[in-house]
Structure 1
Amino acid sequence: MALSIAPETPLQDDIRVMVDKLNVQLAPLSPPEFQFQLTVEQMAGADATVFVARDDGGTAVAMGSLKVHDGTIGEVKRMFSEPQVRGRGLARAILAAIETRARALGLARLVLETGSTAGFEPAWALYEGAGFRVCGAVLNYPDSDYSRFYEKSLV
């Protein structure tokens, strides 16, 4: 299966479906007040870039986004791969595209918030394998037992 990754608008039905699937997947893993999910409309803002992986038939199979904060910090958001393509390196490729975009924008650091409970182990492995390090709370996220924060210097 040939795959391509490119920036796209999230304001497409198939991307909305993926966002809904991600929300359903995450819902049982943390209390709602500790789920910090961008909506599709927020992902479509001028401060965000959404990368979508499509198979050779044009079906969206994975996504991830970069949200820029104050011109120096980029945040990794909404990483998701359809179950049938997991384990093929798509998430790593999307994360690399996010990092490349962040560097092109001159950002000094990438940060992210993910869950700290069982079920998030694949996310931790992805971020740690890409050189992210666990850190304290970032941006305006509350420090809680339900969040794990990561950062990566780009300078």
Structure 2
Amino acid sequence: MHIEPDDLTRPQVHALLAQHLAQMRSQSPACSVHALDIDRLRAPGITVWTAWDGDTLLGCAALKQLTPRHGEIKSMRTDPLQRGKGIGRAMLLHLFDVARQRGYDRLSLETGATDHFLPALQLYASAGFQRCGPFASYDEDPHSIFMTRLL
């Protein structure tokens, strides 16, 4: 597996992100879906990486700068056919490395609160994230779980 910055132009990445958005919308009310579409992932301050095995897309993740010392993890997604292979953890560790290189001292994230999100919550907790209150421009939401981790 290799992880590389992505320019969001490849069809495989479009398909994975469309699948991600569709699933998020099926799990939470529209006002509680904070996943970003491709245009919003191209915004300044957001970098996207993809994980590949040859020509096979394994997953993606993005990092959004909130402040010069605080980043937010966005759009973590593993292809459903590739789950259980450690791809999510590898992406997360890559984001930790990039965040440290950028001088961040904290990473935060928002994820859903239904049972569908339990594997993600377990991954984040095992990597040292702890639940916290809303951060950045988020509001308290019963459909969201907020987590943060010092680097």
TM-score normalised per structure 1: 0.92
Corresponding position: 1:95 with 2:86: no
Instruction: Quote the residue 1:118 is aligned against.
Output: 115
Q: Give the aligned partner of residue 12 of structure 1.
A: 10
Q: Is the Cα–Cα contact under 8 Å of residues 108 and 148 in structure 2 kept in the other structure?
A: yes
- The AA in structure 1 aligned to 2:47 is T
Describe how 1:123-138 pairs up with structure 2 within 5 A.
123-138=120-135
What is the rounded CA distance, in whole Å, between the counterparts of 1:36 and 1:79 in structure 2?
12
The code of the aligned residue for 1:22 comes to H
Measured on the aligned residues, the alpha-carbon RMSD in Å equals 1.1
Moved over 3 A (4+): none
Q: Which amino acid aligns with 1:55?
A: D
Question: Once the 2 structures are TM-superposed, how far is the Cα of residue 53 of structure 1 from its aligned partner?
Answer: 0.8
For the pair 1:77 / 2:68, whether they are aligned, the reply is: no
Aligned residues: 151
Residues of 2 paired with 1:137 and 1:28: CA distance? 22
Amino acid of the residue matched to residue 34 of structure 1? S
Q: Which amino acid aligns with 2:121?
A: W
Given the alignment, which residue of 63, 68, 79 partners 1:66?
63
Distance in structure 2 (CA, Å) of the matches to 1:67 and 1:14: 22
Deviation at 1:54, TM superposition (A): 0.9
d(CA) in 2 for partners of 1:11, 1:132: 31
Stretches of structure 1 that go unaligned for 5 or more consecutive residues are none
Percent identity reads 32
